[in-house]
Chain A
Amino acid sequence: MPSEDESPARRALGAHPWREPALEAWGVYIHIPFCPVRCTYCDFPTVLVRDQEVTTTYVNALIGEWWSEDIPPHPPLAVYLGGGTPSLLRPEAVERLLGAIEQRTGSLGAEVTLEANPDTVNGDTLAGFRQAGVTRLSIGVQALQDDLLREMNRGHGVDIVLQTMAAAKQAGFSAISLDAIYGWPGQTGRQWQETVEQMVRLDPDHLSLYQLQLEPGTQVYQKIRRHQLATPDPDETADMADWANQRLTEAGMTRYEISSYARPNCQGRMNQLYWTLNPYVGLGMAAHSFDGRRRWWNARSLPSYLSRVHADRDPVAESEDLGPPALMREYCWLGLRQVSGFTRRRFGRRFGVDPLSVFHHVWEELRRDGLITWDAERIALTARGLDLANRVMGRLVDAPVELVVASKEG
């Protein structure tokens, strides 16, 4: 494939600032939209399929898109196969995909994650993924009660989750992340504690705990609206989060991001790229890309994505240019997702100004409300701020840019 060609995206969107020195680290996100069933809480762009033929066509398109993308001149830090259900792909397909990336960049980087659903893998496929270059698995557990899994339409029971975990270790994966959902309608505190306990026993090196978000258009949302399921109680949900936080801390895992826990040095690198406003190349239907200044995203439907790539056309659906004020705001509210916050020095290096002086009044207000704290080095959420991160982000998302001299602590 002709890598030196100007990609249509590049022509359409103008030059990318890949060579900005502050933005060394970058990632590749590959969206695999296929799912065998639809989970009742999911509103991600997915396509129900069991047919490997479509996935072969799709992987070919991904490789085609990859070769026509403009990329930074050095290897990525991380590659992430997200979904949908990437584990529906055959290991050979993953191998071809990763092969193309390595061929062009020379290296796959430090971390190659594949999201896996327990009902789609076995010992052989897991070994095959490892062989293909996958270094890390993110396994969607969601709950460890058969009735809750059924309500979520997960397509597997608790036994399969446990088998998958064992098979993953057997296949040689040491970097394993588990996902679970709390605040499910009717989920009891006891059930949640059981889920967390069992996950701790499975000994992953990374955990993501998500409060259920009721997205319009999902089945669970509809059922709650029709009163077929109970509205989750905010206090019970908060108790679940607090209990898990304490239990995981005891188990030696550190909360490093609002919804993520990790053993030392086991943080998810792809997500860290997002939170530090670093660039990423997104491949596939509905995938998002960011070059440090501009974001763009591909067509959200499979046919239009495929037909565009087949016709050698750019699959980009839309893009947005983020001016410096928008970039600075995003840097702040994304950076604050990290428990340690972000450093004023890095912000300064990227934007040439102290973050405290740019959003002076908003920071003051947030500190007065006890939601954030700062010192000479960093700005971070307080414990209360972590609980109410949305409020903090809501204030930053349209914070007016001020040109005020930095406060004295700076």
Chain B
Amino acid sequence: MDSAHIRNFCIIAHIDHGKSTLADRILERTGAVAARNMAPQLLDSMELERERGITIKAQAVCLNWEHSGQTYKLNLIDTPGHVDFTYEVSRALAACEGALLVIDASQGIEAQTLANLYLALEHDLTVVPVINKIDLPSADADRVREDLVEIGIDGTEALAVSAKQGIGIDDVLVAIVNRIPPPAGNLDNPLRALIFDSRFDSYKGVLVFVRVVDGRVAVGDRIRFMATEKEFEVIEVGVFRPELAPVDDLSCGEVGYLAAQIKSVQDTRVGDTVTLAQPRAREPLPGYRPAQPMVFSGLYPVESGDYARLREALEKLKLNDAALTFEPETSLALGFGFRAGFLGLLHLEIVQERLEREYGLVLITTAPNVVYQVNLANGQTVRVDNPSMMPPAGEISEILEPVVDVSIITPAEYIGAVMELSQERRGEYHALTYLDPQRAMLTYRLPLGEIMFDFFDQLKSRTHGYASLDYQPAGMEPADLVKMDILLNGEAVDALSAIVHRQRAYPKGKSLVAKLRELIPRQLFEVPIQAAIGSKVIARETVRALRKDVLAKCYGGDITRKRKLLEKQKEGKRRMKSVGNVEIPQEAFMAILRAEDES
């Protein structure tokens, strides 16, 4: 098919504005899926995605649509909606010429609407605004149109639809064909295809998801990855309907996949350019923003024998998750494990849940932390992604922490509450702008470590659910930070160390040891818990020794039941890690996140 009849587009939206529902309707309308075969949120294929109602992975589907006597090939690339996965969005955008910007007719523009819009403009995409959920009684499409003007978009161009009711879907399809430009690119040039995702398939090896920019790729071609310089022979090319559908070739402008018996995902870096061994393209396509892990956490198997299995599982997850990083790490307390980097907490939770659910691993996850840059007195600079590795205070001249620029859109009445929260979290005020008389956008610079855990929850609760949030990394800034150690039974437990702001170390330490006292079950002996900065103990609590632990006698000779009960109790203990001879439950390693400041 000539590229004039191809449209590559994605759908971007704030979470819950109806992106997946609109995608479902488009699939239905173009006959990619019969209505009766629709599972809600068809593109969310991962079990976890459907359960949580979020899109984690970019997904693609190729649709045929007849319009004015012409057949068009529409490639829809679905994008994740959570702020953790902005990186995935950026990958999907790079494969498109246009984007549907979906806005909820009653919620209006939200922080992610803006963030996604700016990303799309950064990638030179044509933006088609779509006002969704116009069937709701609270819908106010006109207000949304006015707000769009405020952010530099012609509100009159916005389509009014209800994806749920199937209203206005054809208008959307017409706009895709008429407004979004067909892909540029030259069929006669040597092959250049952009890798925007990859997925491991046990039969075909790594499936490489590509957008062909120049030339053509067919079965039997010898391809070359320009960054890794690896070559493979293509055994299958195809498109997504949404299941894999092999085709003879993919030519410039098209979106699809190729399989080349690639065993290792390291060979197929997302963002790399695929060309042919002969003729070879001279210049790779511009790569895009590589994934930056923002938070780090130690992953340790509770059973030390599971280390190798954990490594294998992480490697497999990495096949589909370019943003996940991990390297081996050893903890005095927890033994052998990995320090893994994630895009955010949701990403961490998802990885942890998949490791446990899909690979049957029982894990201890240490409290997530950000990465610090430490300038030493001797002029050297070290990167610290594990609090226990923080150099001794005497050797440090300065510690820098990552900061983010946060934009928060809130109803005007909650501006005070949002400012208060941001200040509590060491925020630096930047600006306040009104979108309309009722809604304002506040921007702050905040330490990433301060917003990582419960900032969003706090924001939601203090604004009764009305505020929305987005953030962008904004480099590193110096801060007065110290390492706080936690000692159990007089022994420092490295996996419990935390980096805290000096002025808040005392209340934090006090709150943390109190929390740990609640979380650590009584042991055979008394366990003192101490928080210390350097050699100075700043807080102390004690878990008293277990006094009694007995089972009643067995009823009617049912010894089997009693034995099972004992085995079950033992099973419960397997979720704990023995450190020294203190048994610590998983939650204790996360306690720092729940330690409130009482200052």
Contact = CB atoms under 8 A, between A and B. Distances in A.
| Chains A and B form a bound pair | yes
Interface of A: 29, 31, 44, 82, 208, 210-211, 213, 234-235, 237-238, 241, 257-260, 271, 274, 280, 282, 286-290, 295, 297, 320, 330, 333-334, 337, 369, 371, 386-391, 393-394, 397-398
A222 B522 CA distance: 24
B563 A211 contact: no
Given A337-B553, A391-B524, A394-B566, A238 B559 contact: no
Contacts of A295: 559-560
Contacts of B560: 288, 295, 297, 320
Contacts of A238: 547-548
Contacts of A260: 553
B570 A389 contact: no
27 contacts: A29-B557, A44-B556, A210-B553, A213-B552, A234-B548, A235-B544, A238-B547, A238-B548, A258-B553, A274-B554, A282-B557, A286-B556, A287-B556, A287-B557, A289-B557, A297-B560, A330-B563, A337-B553, A387-B549, A387-B550, A388-B524, A388-B550, A389-B550, A391-B549, A394-B569, A394-B570, A398-B570
Given A44-B555, A330-B563, A369-B524, A211 B570 contact: no
Interface string B559-573: 110010011011001
B138 to A, nearest CB: 36
A259 B569 CA distance: 20
Given A369-B524, A388-B524, A282 B563 contact: no
A216 B576 CA distance: 22
A390 B556 contact: no
B522 A393 contact: no
B550 to A, nearest CB: 5
A327 to B, nearest CB: 11
Contacts of A389: 549-551
A386 B546 CA distance: 12
Contact of B559 (A235, A286, A288): A288
Contacts, number: 95
Contacts of B559: 274, 288, 290, 295, 330, 334
A296 to B, nearest CB: 10
A290 B547 contact: no
A369 B548 CA distance: 15
Contacts of B558: 288, 297
B567 A393 contact: no
Nearest to A397: B566
Contacts of B556: 29, 31, 44, 82, 282, 286-288
A389 B554 CA distance: 14
Nearest to B524: A369
A245 to B, nearest CB: 11
Contacts of A333: 566
A394 B553 CA distance: 15
Nearest to B525: A369
A248 B573 CA distance: 35
B557 A288 contact: yes
B552 A210 contact: yes
Interface of A is mostly: mixed
Given A288-B560, A391-B546, 20 more contacts: A44-B555, A44-B556, A82-B556, A213-B552, A234-B522, A235-B547, A238-B548, A260-B553, A274-B559, A290-B557, A297-B560, A320-B560, A333-B566, A334-B559, A337-B553, A386-B550, A389-B549, A397-B563, A397-B570, A398-B570
A208 B555 CA distance: 13
A66 to B, nearest CB: 16
A387 B553 contact: no
A81 B547 CA distance: 34
B524 A211 contact: no
B542 to A, nearest CB: 13
A208 B551 contact: no
A259 B563 CA distance: 18
A337 B559 CA distance: 13
Among A44, A260, A289, A391, the one with the most B-chain Cβ atoms within 10 Å of its Cβ is A391
A271 B547 CA distance: 26
B552 A82 contact: no
A271 B548 contact: no
Contacts of A394: 566, 569-570, 573
B557 A259 contact: no
Contacts of A258: 550, 553
A316 to B, nearest CB: 13
A388 B549 contact: yes
B548 A388 contact: yes
Interface string B328-342: 000000000000000
Given A280-B557, A287-B556, A390 B551 contact: yes
Given A211-B548, A258-B550, A288-B560, A82 B555 contact: yes
B269 to A, nearest CB: 47
A388 B555 contact: no
Contacts of A297: 558, 560
Among A235, A237, A288, the one with the most B-chain Cβ atoms within 10 Å of its Cβ is A288
Contacts of A257: 553
Contacts of B552: 210-211, 213, 259
Contacts of B546: 388, 391
A261 to B, nearest CB: 13
A69 to B, nearest CB: 14
B578 to A, nearest CB: 13
Contacts of B524: 369, 371, 388, 391
Nearest to A42: B555
Nearest to A326: B563
A390 B566 contact: yes
B552 to A, nearest CB: 4
Contacts of A286: 556
B563 A208 contact: no
A-B residue pairs, 5 tightest by C-beta: A238-B547, A390-B549, A397-B566, A210-B552, A238-B548
A234 B543 CA distance: 13
A246 to B, nearest CB: 15
B519 to A, nearest CB: 16
Contact of B557 (A241, A274, A320): A274
Contact of A213 (B522, B544, B551, B570): B551
A237 B557 CA distance: 26
Contact of B553 (A271, A320, A369, A397): A271
A286 to B, nearest CB: 8
Contact of A259 (B522, B550, B555, B567): B550
Contacts of A259: 550, 552-553
Interface string B39-66: 0000000000000000000000000000
Interface string B561-599: 001001101100100000000000000000000000000
Contact of A393 (B555, B566, B573): B566
Nearest to B566: A397
A103 to B, nearest CB: 23
Nearest to B551: A390
